[in-house]
Structure 1
């Protein structure tokens, strides 16, 4: 198969890279290893994490359209009681638009359908990258295979890595970083003293449940339940399976009950995607929520650059932890009436598109990251080091984002780190590898560090990155030029920025406070 642009990975960034490149007139091949496009939003079952200003500004026009289309879908098809307020389908407290993965999938498919229909975009679902062929500093071919082992060779002028783990980078001999960098290498105040590639953020295997009063939906006791029931990490003062979580500011144990009340937030509505009270009476038997809590963060090992046996062990461990958390919730979690367990919690495989109710793919917080012409470091965004300077204004900005630096406990040092940051601008240099000429990162694998990756991984930022990656490949093809030549030519940078503005990408923030 041949195309102008091949995008390996169909998560948020991959979808928007494909959409943008096809919109600009290029032929595109998009591959995805799962059965669903959308990554975090769909196959990983993570509702949007966003900054506080998202309803008014601070995202691309297409991301705004996505949010509007999600709400419009519920308003058109669901029996809502009040269709005049700004809808949050799950009335969650972590997201202003917590919604079902299948609705996100529907909206994303609608974005891409016109280009699939015209033949400009070819989609290969359930295909994973296996090998790459390169000559000098360019890739010529990427070989992907489906679940039956049947291979497809893809040739393109540009290859975009939008995989969740940056899987194309080692296959294509692209220089990259993974895990924790050393302070002497990045100059970051909160980097480790020594680099550790195995020290990555935890993965989480999200699952969906609803609550059906009067019914018992207790699952079979998971194989590893006894291990997780007694497990307590050395850096915590509470058990893994409990109503206690690490406080992001202090690392100390903080109580969060399963079900909250008017005085106390609860875990149940943290990522709730259906609040039954927003819909006509008896339409839902109970709320539906996605369980992505600190209690099922899996930090016992990395799945990046390890042998297949270790990778399989840790993927299975993450699944077992999530199932063990559910079993604990159903059988042992303390209730206000003095009893234990909520057998009324029911797995919802229809929500996740799987047989068991667990997401198709674990939630990935951290991937391999290219060694880029510019790497975003902590000092660029951490409010403690920006001081009165505030937002770092970039002449080569290609987008904007905002989120606090947020590291969940890592797999070796077990450190967690949470810090206020200023809204940031995304540098063009973070998209350009130091050597390989026709590979572009299209999600959280841009030139960032482990620390700054903690805020570049969020939904609207990855969306912005994907749009830029697709536009960048198209711009380079149309101009018949190398990426580094674009980067070093101020006039060409301005022309590329004008293209982004025409596409609805904001390049700069107004004056803002740290968040």
Structure 2
């Protein structure tokens, strides 16, 4: 399939992988800006990219950060996913700057929103009162807070944000990246970015193939990783579902039914072919329980408590009218990121551009079909069918079609790293079996090169190979510096889901506070490498250099070890 240059760049902005090392069409000669240079170039403005930029700027570096959409923030903004966090997040278990971000969200509501007296006096305000998180909030608020954190460096010229720019090529000198070329989505104008260090903070690890950095995709074999739950044979195309998120509210008595989606009939009747089996149609109020895989009953009711099981409207609600003065919200607003709009009929990585684009388009159709089903056919607690008053809130996510600006990607290309975190390091059952320590006392593996901490269950959504949920207990873990250092390339550092984890452990390293910690550590690592004139690999291998770097991390508010806690 022949795609125009503009189409290629639009796909790049949405994170579509390319079959080759560059989407550039060689027959075209795009206009170029003069080369820009900096101390650090960050490709990708998601949470990891923002944290890396903030840390590097605070350390005095000159930084260029690109972002394929027109919103920085990734998971929490352009992908419209409220934070998924561990249960201790309000007290410990994240970096100081991530806490600044969280506090900034609450302060923004306090400054700019007409809160009730009760809400204004609630120290740990949850604007949406969603049950998934202690801080469910609107994407635009997170966007505003991130810009506020970065604003002093942008204004002072220390940080240059290039929005709607995607990487299209890279030039190498041996094991070092010399420059990365990015192209503007709308104009096609290319900018060549030069720096001694580059950070890949894209959701799919877009720089890895461009820079010929060794990486893996999908599920590794048990022989490769030693993980009890890994498959016997590697499955590169076995990748977690992705999701096009969207926001809705409900205006009773009104009709906001959308046009019937193209493939609605297919999705309405679609029964997932999973192992273990899925309990019936995807578009229903039943799903596989992620942990037990038994049938789990759900409900949906935007106006009440709902029926049997979890009320999905409340689950990821990002605005609860009860927190605001009467009249501010006509309805609660809920973010739809559910099993019913997880797309697993094909992967985004390891297939050619056209196939990936088709999967993305079908993923969008699935999300719109879910909405249409809820508006027209979904069973109601009162015995009726459908909620015509469900309104797609395109204004909340900032798009014309009402779906998030970028797809929520759970699994990326992952570098072949100096250290790869496996189930044997963090899985509760695997650790008990390997160490003989009782379950009540077992801990995750201790990494002497820790650059941060995180905690979440090993949570894998159904995959493109037909594997149902894999959701298993894990232990509060550390982030080893070795997982941020490629085996060969010297000056490229990953800053999100592209670190040295496996298909399995990616399931607990992929969430909001961990991605932020990874990005912040990456930014400080580059600053330290430039300050001491030693490459990251040398900093890790030299005990004195490593200790000095870890002192820098602690002074900047990164926690490197956990107190004793129970497994999740």
Same fold (TM > 0.5): yes
Give, in angstroms, the shift of residue 386 of structure 1. 2.1
Aligned partner of 2:284 among 242, 263, 266:
242
Q: Aligned match of 1:448 in 461, 479, 501?
A: 501
Instruction: Please report how far the alpha carbon of residue 67 of structure 1 lies from its aligned counterpart in structure 2 after TM superposition.
Output: 0.9
The match for 1:325 is: 370
In the TM superposition, what is the alpha-carbon distance from 1:385 to its structure 2 partner?
A: 2.1
Partner of 1:479: 532
Aligned ranges 1:316-395 → 2 under 5 Å: 316-387=361-432, 388=437, 389-395=442-448
Q: Is the 8 A contact 2:129 2:317 kept in 1?
A: yes
Q: Is the 8 A contact 1:238 1:253 kept in 2?
A: no
The Cα offsets for residues 21-77 of structure 1, whole Å up to 9 and x where unpaired, read as 111111110000001000000000000000001111110011111111111111121
Of the candidates 49, 54, 60, which is equivalent to residue 19 of structure 1? 54
Whether the aligned pair in 2 keeps the contact of 1:391 and 1:512 (CA below 8 Å) is no
User: What are the equivalent positions in structure 2 for 1:419-438 lying under 5 Å apart?
Assistant: 419-438=472-491
The residue that corresponds to 1:502 in the other structure is: 555
Q: What's the CA shift for 1:487?
A: 1.4
The superposition leaves residues 129-150 of structure 1 with CA deviations (integer Å, 9 ceiling, x where unpaired) of 0111001100101010011211
Shift of 1:119: 0.7
The runs of 5 or more residues in structure 1 that have no matched partner are: none
Match of 1:157 in 2: 196
Distance of 2:350 and 2:235 partners within structure 1: 12
Give the C-alpha shift of residue 412 in structure 1: 1.4
Q: Which residue number corresponds to residue 27 of structure 2?
A: none
TM-aligned CA deviation for residue 485 of structure 1: 1.3
Q: Is the 8 A contact 1:246 1:253 kept in 2?
A: yes
Post-superposition offset of 1:284: 1.0
Would the aligned equivalents of 2:228 and 2:430 in 1 still touch at CA under 8 Å? no
1:310: which partner in 2?
355
- State how far apart, in whole Å, the 2-side matches of 1:500 and 1:137 are: 27
- The reply on whether 1:90 has 2:124 as its aligned counterpart is no
* Residue 284 (structure 1) aligns with: 329
Q: Cα deviation per residue 1:291-325 (whole Å; 9 max; x = unaligned)?
A: 00000000011111321110110010110000000
Where does structure 2 lack aligned partners over 5 or more consecutive residues? Answer: 1-35
* Deviation beyond 6 Å, 4+ runs, structure 1: none
Contact 2:300 2:306 in 1 (8 A): no
In structure 1, the partner of 2:181 is 143
Check whether the contact 1:206–1:290 (CA below 8 A) recurs between aligned residues.
yes
Residue 459 of structure 1, aligned match among 499, 512, 535: 512
Once residues 67 and 240 of structure 1 are traced to their aligned partners in structure 2, the CA distance between those partners, rounded to angstroms, is 34
User: Which of residues 19, 26, 42 in structure 2 aligns to 1:7?
Assistant: 42
Counterpart for residue 252 of structure 1:
294
- Is the Cα contact below 8 Å between 1:183 and 1:189 reproduced in 2? yes
The match for 2:101 is: 66
CA deviation digits over 1:460-487, x for unaligned, max 9?
A: 0000000000001111112111222111
* 3-state secondary structure, aligned to 2:300: coil
* TM-score, normalised by the number of residues in structure 1: 0.99
Correspondence for 2:320: 275
In the TM superposition, residue 181 of structure 1 has moved relative to its aligned partner by: 0.3
Q: Is the 8 A contact 2:43 2:65 kept in 1?
A: yes
TM-score, structure 2 as length reference: 0.89
CA RMSD of aligned residues (A): 1.1
Aligned residue for 1:269, secondary structure, equals: helix
Aligned equivalent of 1:131, options 169, 176, 183: 169
User: Residue 393 of structure 1: CA displacement?
Assistant: 2.2
Do structure 1's residue 301 and structure 2's residue 301 form an aligned pair? Answer: no
Task: State which of 237, 258, 265 in structure 2 corresponds to 1:226.
Answer: 265
Secondary structure of 1:303's match? coil
SS at match of 1:475: helix
Shift of 1:171: 0.3
Is the CA contact (8 Å cut-off) linking 2:299 and 2:307 kept in structure 1? no
8 Å contact kept, 1:213–1:286: no
SS at match of 1:463: helix
Of 69-78 and 125-134, the range deviating more from structure 2: 69-78
For residues 57-114 of structure 1, give each alpha carbon's deviation from its aligned partner in whole angstroms, at most 9, with x where no partner exists: 1100111111111111111211211111221111101011000000000000011111
How many pairs were matched up? 515
